[in-house]
Structure 1
Amino acid sequence: MKLAIIFPPLPFGWTPVAPPILEYLAALTRRVDPSIEIELISASATPDAFDKLECDLASISILTPTAVPGYHIADGLRARGIKVVFGGMHASAMPEEAKSHGDAVVIGEAESAWPEVLRDFRAGQLKPFYRGEQLPLNDLPTPLYGKLGGGHQFRVINTSRGCPYNCTFCSVKPFFGASIRFRPIEDVVRDVCAIPEKMYINGDENIWWEGFEQRAIDLFTALKVAKKKWMGFGSLRPVLSPAGSRMLNAARESGMLTVWVGWDAISDESLTAYKANGKVGVDRERAVRTLRDHGIDVSLFYMLGSREDSLDDFKRSVEVADRLGVSMHPSLVVPYPGTELRQQYEPYLYKELGWEYYTGAYALFDHPDAAMTPEAREEAFYESSLELLSLPRVLRHMFKVPLSGFPYAHILSLMNQLPVRKGMKIAYEQWKASKKAVGEKQIIV
């Protein structure tokens, strides 16, 4: 039996980050049945892999922005008699939709469901739906690093699942639950030491949680043995806690170079509407300065164009970057399926826009401000984004990276921003072409 594990192409091109589901699901498969032949496909890196793909079963993990190309891949494989099973956040939120393009759908986490999927497939009795449980994370296998080609330079490690915060825009809590489940620290260290590269990414929703600062300190202290550099994603509130300084020192000593922080919104009104105040804390600018004072570079990701935002917020994002000395990575608001924000925005959604528009580069809903037309929001988004990612700014920011991280942090700064810059330019050209095509069609009509 041969299994192909597939991650569909990203909207705006290849990135150096290996999709973590590929090598991890390969390890789960190897544990269940070592006799299964496995092929991993990151479609952004190898888009022509499907022309000659031969397998018995294909597993396709989809996010909302990759759902449409994932369905296209599945339709092509099924036309050749290959069975397809879907998984991932989008498939879990929209299982009936995913099932219309596949033979089976895994809803939720894979560990409890995947062995049954493989057994049923061998028996010729695939069920339409499998529901994964939210289990303790005490016995996860080490991903099969090195099995994936494509020139990926970063592997992703996860140390926990779940999120107690109530941010309306986020899919993590609906998918992984409200309780934080931690992996044993020794298992995390084992997996980090197995990574072939010298740098990696901690892919947790949050690398440090309020109330669990000591656990973070213990993890970071243990990770020093790996002697690797890394970046992660973290909230701001724990940074200013009584244990915050010790925690940041431990993170830095463990090799942490950069933290990506959810700034979430420029305006306080949008931050409140998103219910994200609890995550960012009472003084987010002081928290950012504290991170930088501890030798950690900071990148802020945030959303623009919500129903509470104005056009001024697009311009203010550039001011925030200049004032704090950080890199900024914006997105237009995306009401993902399965989230509270999706329910709130349902009456205002542009229903004619399919999932291929859910990339963070399109206005997806009506706005109460007449000046915030879809075209105005999208144009302001590209204008501010391309300014933030302009080559002079990217280079200037590299020189603002704390010297304590030289040279790895400076290289990482470029590797973080340049692919995003390239993707943004691709998205902008696609946007201009689509607007031009619409204009020409209107003239002809």
Structure 2
Amino acid sequence: MRLYLVNPSNPLVSIVNFEESRWNRYRVWKPLSLMVLAGLTPSEWKIQIIDENLGAPDYAALPRPDLVGITAFTSQANRAYEVAAHFRGLGVPVVMGGIHATMCREEAMERVDALVTGEAEGIWPGVLEDALNGRLQHRYDGGLADIKDVPMARHDLLNRGYACGAIQTTRGCPLNCSFCSVTAFNGAHYRQRPVADVVRELRMISEKYVLVVDDNLVGTRREHVARAKDLFRAMAHADLGKKWFAQASINFADDEELLALAAKAGCVGVFIGFESPTPEGLREIGKKFNIQKDRDIHESVRRIQRHGILVAGSFIIGLDTDEPGVGKLIAETARRHGVDNLNALFLTPLPGTRLWDLMKSEDRIALDAFPGDWKYFTLTFPVAQYKNLSLEDIIQEMITCDWSFYSIRRILCRVWSSIWQRRKPLVSLVGNFSYRKNLRLNRKSYADFQSYVKTHVST
């Protein structure tokens, strides 16, 4: 039996266009969820994982499969349906899962043979058994999996074309920000894989650099941090030779022992969501966690960096509290915080979030010709109506923010600072020039987007 597991692409996301920028190779990670499902698949299935981020194959030239499984974020949904339609036209049953299928069930169920909602690990073997016996059901509800029983991902199935490997050690995030669908999909309960399993899987990854895809690596509570320390100790003791990046909250900076252990275990960078330069903005999105205890953000960032760990900061443009000038304010705030990289995104209402419910109730979702318009829900296009910023205004704010932070002078200053402080200057250089290279591509994308909105969206 032949099984294809497909991660669809989105041609509007410039970072996957390797031909346009060789730096993009360092910003694409493997579809880990498909690799985990492959690890759960019985040996009678011949598995091929197809990651369209490396280029979509000629499906017509491939051997006909017996079953196709597709995962998709919201921005991949339209392409996912195209792939599904191709295989269904050949009489091949298609199963779709992932966060978009879970949040937009009725839409997805109209376009595939079987739908898997929630986390699929607990029910995937049953789906395959039903497929083998010709009794595939129309819907399977996975809920939340017990990740203590999740097997090793099949890293061997995707061992070429990537600069970074990928691994997951925890699921769930207790912060529940209004714009984020993680809590709705993975729950607020913080779940951890056994430390020994994580170390064993890291040994299986061929790449030197690894992205830890956890939404919040160290959690928010004392017991979460204690577990993270145990993990880092085990990684350091195993002497894996890996360099890794992770996502965490700003409390990552609060424990010197945690930082020292992370650095010893190979941490070279951490991605932190600062989200807004103002307390009002943080309160709007439900992320007061960042300003608790009168936190000094700059000092927190420096504390992380003193351990040789780079800090990438994420901010959002388009909050109701944002006014003209917010782009420059974010760039200056990021500079004052001292972050090594800035990732500014447009406020995007994703299905399943409180933000979606609010904006939908207020008729503020500007692009709503679904499923076609899902391709713009990448967080890099302003798909909503914003309180104090017009379409032209918010795009200009983003351009101002990005070009201010990623000017050649400021990039060189940050790289020099990394050299002076012995803080991964090569990684800093790659990250900064990767972002800057794509800024030129973004200008054309914004122009095309504005043209599309003017043509297709009624005002």
**In the alignment, which residue of structure 2 is the partner of 1:350?**
366
Relative distance call for 1:436 and 1:164 in structure 2 (3 A) is: closer
**In the alignment, which residue of structure 1 is the partner of 2:173?**
163
The 10-residue stretch of structure 1 (424-433 or 54-63) with the greater mean CA deviation from structure 2: 424-433
Aligned residue for 1:399, secondary structure, equals helix
Offset, 1:395: 4.2
Does structure 1 residue 399 correspond to structure 2 residue 383?
Answer: no
Does structure 1 residue 217 correspond to structure 2 residue 229?
Answer: yes
**In the alignment, which residue of structure 2 is the partner of 1:4?**
4
Does structure 1 residue 249 correspond to structure 2 residue 266?
Answer: no
TM-score (norm. length: structure 1):
0.91
Residue deviations 1:181-228 (CA, integer Å, cap 9, x gap): 111100011011111111211111111123222211111011111231
Quick one: distance in 2 between partners of 1:13 and 1:49? 22
For residue 74 of structure 2, the aligned residue among 64, 68, 72 is: 64
**In the alignment, which residue of structure 1 is the partner of 2:50?**
41
Offset, 1:140: 1.8
Contact 1:20–1:155 under 8 Å retained in 2: no
Quick one: distance in 2 between partners of 1:250 and 1:115? 38
The 10-residue stretch of structure 1 (283-292 or 188-197) with the greater mean CA deviation from structure 2: 283-292
Calculate percent identity across the aligned residue pairs.
29
Contact 1:296–1:402 under 8 Å retained in 2: no
For residue 50 of structure 1, the aligned residue among 46, 59, 71 is: 59
Residue deviations 1:106-165 (CA, integer Å, cap 9, x gap): 100011111111011111111111111323222222111131255112111111111111
For residue 296 of structure 1, the aligned residue among 290, 306, 309 is: 309
Q: Counterpart of 2:85 in structure 1: which amino acid? A: D
Contact 1:259–1:297 under 8 Å retained in 2: yes
Does structure 1 residue 133 correspond to structure 2 residue 150?
Answer: no
Q: Counterpart of 1:362 in structure 2: which amino acid? A: F
Quick one: distance in 1 between partners of 2:435 and 2:9? 15
Contact 1:200–1:229 under 8 Å retained in 2: yes
**In the alignment, which residue of structure 2 is the partner of 1:262?**
273
Aligned residue for 1:247, secondary structure, equals helix
For residue 25 of structure 1, the aligned residue among 30, 37, 48 is: 37
Alignment of 1:117-196 (within 5 A): 117-148=127-158, 151-196=161-206
Alignment of 1:360-399 (within 5 A): 360-369=379-388, 372-399=389-416
Quick one: distance in 2 between partners of 1:420 and 1:55? 38
Relative distance call for 1:438 and 1:139 in structure 2 (3 A) is: closer
**How many residues were matched structurally?**
431
Quick one: distance in 1 between partners of 2:346 and 2:106? 27
Moved over 6 A (4+): none
Quick one: distance in 1 between partners of 2:35 and 2:421? 33
Residue deviations 1:313-339 (CA, integer Å, cap 9, x gap): 211111123223321110001111001
Contact 1:28–1:111 under 8 Å retained in 2: yes
Quick one: distance in 1 between partners of 2:229 and 2:401? 37
Structure 1 residue ranges without an equivalent (≥5): none
**In the alignment, which residue of structure 1 is the partner of 2:352?**
338
Residue deviations 1:381-402 (CA, integer Å, cap 9, x gap): 1232244334554444233226
Aligned residue for 1:222, secondary structure, equals helix
Contact 1:6–1:58 under 8 Å retained in 2: yes
Quick one: distance in 2 between partners of 1:310 and 1:330? 16
Contact 2:35–2:153 under 8 Å retained in 1: yes
**In the alignment, which residue of structure 2 is the partner of 1:233?**
247
Quick one: distance in 1 between partners of 2:32 and 2:52? 13
Q: Cα RMSD (Å) of the superposition? A: 2.2
**In the alignment, which residue of structure 2 is the partner of 1:95?**
105
**In the alignment, which residue of structure 2 is the partner of 1:319?**
332
Offset, 1:246: 0.7
Q: Counterpart of 2:127 in structure 1: which amino acid? A: V
Quick one: distance in 2 between partners of 1:82 and 1:429? 38
Relative distance call for 1:125 and 1:176 in structure 2 (3 A) is: same
Contact 2:210–2:244 under 8 Å retained in 1: yes
Quick one: distance in 2 between partners of 1:111 and 1:362? 32
